[in-house]
Structure 1
Amino acid sequence: MTTPSNKPTHRAYAVTKRGEKSRWQEIGAAWAHKDNKGFNLKLDYLPLNGAELVLRVPDAAEAATADEATAPANEGGF
């Protein structure tokens, strides 16, 4: 959980291209986990209303399970 004394390690931006220029709009912040395998995000954008989102790096077993779950069932087509 974040506290006022815990400064974010990253800032979150929404980048919109306009021709050759880009507009960078700050939309939130991120705090790295102590093990450096994920982040807590606090976004002040869209209908999230400041909710925190957590992203983690999956361990090897979780990654293998996720790969199997997303593999096409019929690789040869119809």
Structure 2
Amino acid sequence: MTDTTANRPSHRIFNVTGDGDNARWTDIGVAWATRDGKGFTLSLNAVPINGRVVMRINEAKDDKKKGS
């Protein structure tokens, strides 16, 4: 495993406003699991004042292309 792979964020963080088909997802940062596995380190580009903050597993680009 290379350093780049090892340091790849495990999650992406989004600000979500609206609901259903009208929801707008804005990418606002990334997260890494802590070494002890009991939390996350966040790196945010923005801190939203409204809407929801959603953290999703960061899928590999190859997985997205395959539809997994």
TM-score (norm 2): 0.55
Same amino acid, percent of matched pairs: 47
Which has the higher Rg, Structure 1 or Structure 2? 1
Query: Structure 1: any 5+ residue segments left out of the alignment?
Result: 47-78
| Structure 2 unaligned blocks of 5 or more | 48-68
Matched with 1:9 is 10
- What is the RMSD of the two structures over their aligned residues, measured on CA atoms? 2.1
Deviation at 1:30?
0.1
2:43 maps to what in 1?
Answer: 42
Query: What does residue range 29-68 of structure 1 map to in structure 2 within 5 Å?
Result: 29-46=30-47
Residue type at the aligned position of 1:10: H
Give me the whole-angstrom Cα distance separating, in 1, the residues matched to 2:32 and 2:39. 9
3-state SS, counterpart of residue 35 of structure 1:
coil
DSSP 3-state at the match of 1:13 = strand
**Structure 2 CA distance for partners of 1:34 and 1:19, relative to 1, 3 Å:** closer
* Runs of 4+ more than 3 Å apart: none
Give the counterpart letter for 2:33 in structure 1: A
